[in-house]
Structure 1
Amino acid sequence: MEKTSSPFVDVSGAAPREQNMWPSIVITKESIDLEIARLQDIARPDNGRRASLIVHPQATRPGLGLSPGIDVTINVLNPGERTFNLRKNSNMVEICISGSGVAVCDGTQTRVSKFDVWNTPSMAVHSYYNDSNAPWVRLSYSNAPLLEKLEIHYVEEFEGDIPPADAGTTPAAAPNSSGGPRARDLALREQITEQGAWLLGYEWLIDIDVIESKSLHWPWEKVSQYLPSVEEIDRGYNGRRLFVLYNPATERRIGTTHSFFATISSSPPNNHHIPHRHSSAAMNYYLRGRGYSKVNGERLEWKEGDLILSAPGWAMHSHHSGDQTTSALTIQDHPLQIAMESLIWQERIKEPILTLGRQAGFESNRAQFVAAK
């Protein structure tokens, strides 16, 4: 009889493991453009997806990404091309970086053009087609690496309509469509301590209240109109000059999807951030301008069209614009970390480390500039 290894690992008195922080890297516009050109020239895949993952040198399978929990994919559709339908339990934020096309999500068509941003919810049936006369290029950010590491990434791809097994269902369909009481209304719901501990019956686990999660679109034509208002805040402002592309379905997690927030920034020339850090990872795609970032003491130069892993989780970092106005799309897994109660944040080096969402957060000095007007 073969010996089986013990399922136990003695960690009595063990010190915490030192975390393996991935270094920040810059993927240049030139290298992105070369990969876009390569994708344009390959034979069209059967499913229509001309795509290339951008992978960090330290990434390992399963779950290749630009950070341990976030992947970025370059997607190209040549004129007249269309992709198969796709459905997966990862969610996405996408940005059009050149050309234009139509994103279809749960039957709704959204026409997007340069710098438009949109989200794709989990398990939404989605596809893309290019009805223009120029290649359409977009960057897609998803939480697939995390789900791959958990071995729970559900993906299906198909032509035509929604699979027959799903016909007639909608994301918000109520299980008690007959009009009778919900099973969970008949299950136990009892507070058992004064401090707030409750007991709930099984049905509370399988019949969760629905908050509609749909694809939303943030057109650059509209978003860009608001950017001067943050760029023009006085130089003494100690916050970030940006807007969150907010999806109300994420509620207090302040996200664009339930995993990520997306922000669009606008910083004046020679603007310098105060160093800060957070457990959420962040990556910047620069829409205009040039400058540099300091990440864990390393200086990284960037410019328009570059993509940078700008803040590996818990890395001290700051961003500095050069001699031009600078704008970036930032993707950060802030909402996911709030949901896990793991979002620790240090807004300024001499301030405390706080668990955002569990403790009262930080204040900026915005009030003094509003009062001065």
Structure 2
Amino acid sequence: MTAIDPRVPTVVLDSGARAVDTSGEAAARPTPWAPLRILAAEIEATIERISTGPAPDNGRRSALLVHPESTTGRSFAPGVEVAVEVLLPGESTTPLRRNSSIVQICLAGTGTVHVAGASIDMARNDVATVPSMKPHRFRNDGDGPWIRLAYSNAPLLAHLGTLYAEEVPADWVPGTVVDGPIDMDEPAEVADRGSAPDHEVSPTGARLRGYEFLVDIEPVPDRLRHWPYRTVSGLMSQSTGDGERTIMALYNPATERRQGATGSFFVTLSRIPHGHRPRPEGAGHRHSSVAINYHVEGTGYSVVDGRRIDFAPGDLLLSAPSWREHAHYPSETGLTVFTVQDHPQHIATESLIWQEDMNGPILALGLERGQTGYIAPRNWDDDLPRI
């Protein structure tokens, strides 16, 4: 529980609530956590530890990677959970559905993801997503451990008191895919959106609508998505100066304008070829979304609010806590890195602010014209600015 500041005038009401005087209060500013690097060796030790002993009853061998500033003891970033998940050969998890977004990155081994009647096979560096409230399970039919990083927005939902998960029967049968308004099993005069009132009430465009619009929302169908690394990496830059992109987004069409892999997270793959010329240090940029980098290949360092953090293959780095200035400097080895960022979640809540030039404007992305002419991440030619 947050302590009460005795310097702030507070009145305890008869209901037990408090009325806190905020008259003249200064404007709010972000309070980001510190950057954090978890070494590949630490992740490997975690994998070894959770791989020992018999499998749990639900089959889920997992461990959360938790930031030292986490007040809940579960978060890697304030609204993001990162778990290491392991399945040994022949093991599988029991079916589960939950209302949190899930991004899975395969670190090693192979296995099958089953989601609501669909399935895909994952291999090293593949990425898959599990939609909210779709029953899912994982099975390892390979010869070695299947190891994954799993990202979710569970900490945010837990803070709101709305995190939900439930086991479902192994013989659960998925319902019909919905492509329009959900049948509420209500009388036609109630459930029919066509008869719901919808009035414009002022020249500003404000409207008054029937309650039907709130409880019978048009669904955007989502399903299991899979980005095979073999295909994705082949579409990236292969050699210095080839003109191909060095950073691309793994896009799920169900997220529409949020540009995400899920409704909460985008995932990008950065691939800078071996042999490029390292850049001199300079100013970075910052944004309200947090960025978490998993380094697949290559060495280098990041500078976060003036602090240098070296990285190597297998390291996990909270490289951009919300609103901290940051820049990344791969060595001549090049770079392959997956970045997970809660960018789409901020677009949905209209809270995504971005400052590309530390002396320039602060943009509200999704609400006004964004960062245009953004050439830095497109390729790595010597005449272009760094990422």
Tell me, what secondary structure is at the counterpart of 1:48? coil
Relative to structure 1, the CA distance from residue 43 to residue 145 in structure 2 (aligned partners, 3 Å threshold; closer, same or farther) is: same
Q: Which amino acid aligns with 1:267?
A: I
Pick from 102, 106, 109 the counterpart of residue 92 of structure 1: 102
Of residues 58, 62, 66 in structure 2, which corresponds to 1:51? 62
Indicate whether 1:107 and 2:112 are aligned.
no
Residue 314 of structure 1: which of 316, 320, 323 is its match?
323
SS in 1 for 2:237: helix
Give the structure 1 partner of residue 264 of structure 2: 259
TM-score calculated relative to the size of structure 2: 0.87
Asked whether the 8 Å contact 1:266–1:328 carries over to 2, the reply is: yes
SS at match of 1:32: helix
Q: 1:355 to 1:177 in 2, by over 3 A?
A: closer
Q: 1:174, CA displacement in angstroms? A: 4.6
1:295 matched residue in structure 2: 304
For 2:260 and 2:31, locate their aligned partners in 1 and report how far apart those are by CA, in whole Å. 27
Q: 1:247 to 1:192 in 2, by over 3 A?
A: same
Alpha-carbon spacing, 1:20–1:152, altered in 2? closer, same or farther (3 Å): same
> Alignment partner for residue 305 of structure 1, among 311, 314, 319?
314
Rounded Cα–Cα distance in structure 2 between residues aligned with 1:156 and 1:111: 24
Aligned to 1:175: 182
| Greater shift in the superposed pair: 167-176 or 132-141 | 167-176
Instruction: Classify 1:139/1:46 alpha carbon distance in 2 versus 1 (closer, same or farther; 3 Å).
Output: same
Is the contact made by 1:270 and 1:321 (CA closer than 8 Å) also made in structure 2? Answer: no
Partner of 1:26: 37
2:165 is aligned to: 155
Task: Tell me, yes or no, if structure 1 residue 191 matches structure 2 residue 200.
Answer: yes
Equivalent residue, structure 1, for 2:284: 275
**Runs of at least 5 residues in structure 1 that lack an aligned partner in the other structure:** none
Distance 2:39 2:178 in 1: 39
CA distance in 1, matches of 2:38, 2:363: 32
- What letter is aligned with 1:330? T
CA distance in 1 between partners of 2:216 and 2:15 (Å): 41
Are 1:141 and 2:151 an aligned pair?
A: yes
1:6 positional shift = 4.4
Structure 2: gaps (5+ residues):
1-12
TM-superposed CA distance for 1:7, in Å, is 2.5
Kept in 1: contact 2:182–2:217 (CA 8 A): no
Question: Aligned partner of 2:36: which letter?
Answer: I
What displacement does 1:266 show?
Answer: 1.2
Give the Å deviation of 1:41: 1.0
Answer yes or no: is the 8 Å Cα contact 2:278–2:332 preserved in 1.
Answer: no
Q: Does the residue aligned with 1:146 lie in a helix, a strand or coil? A: helix
1:26 is paired with a residue whose SS is strand
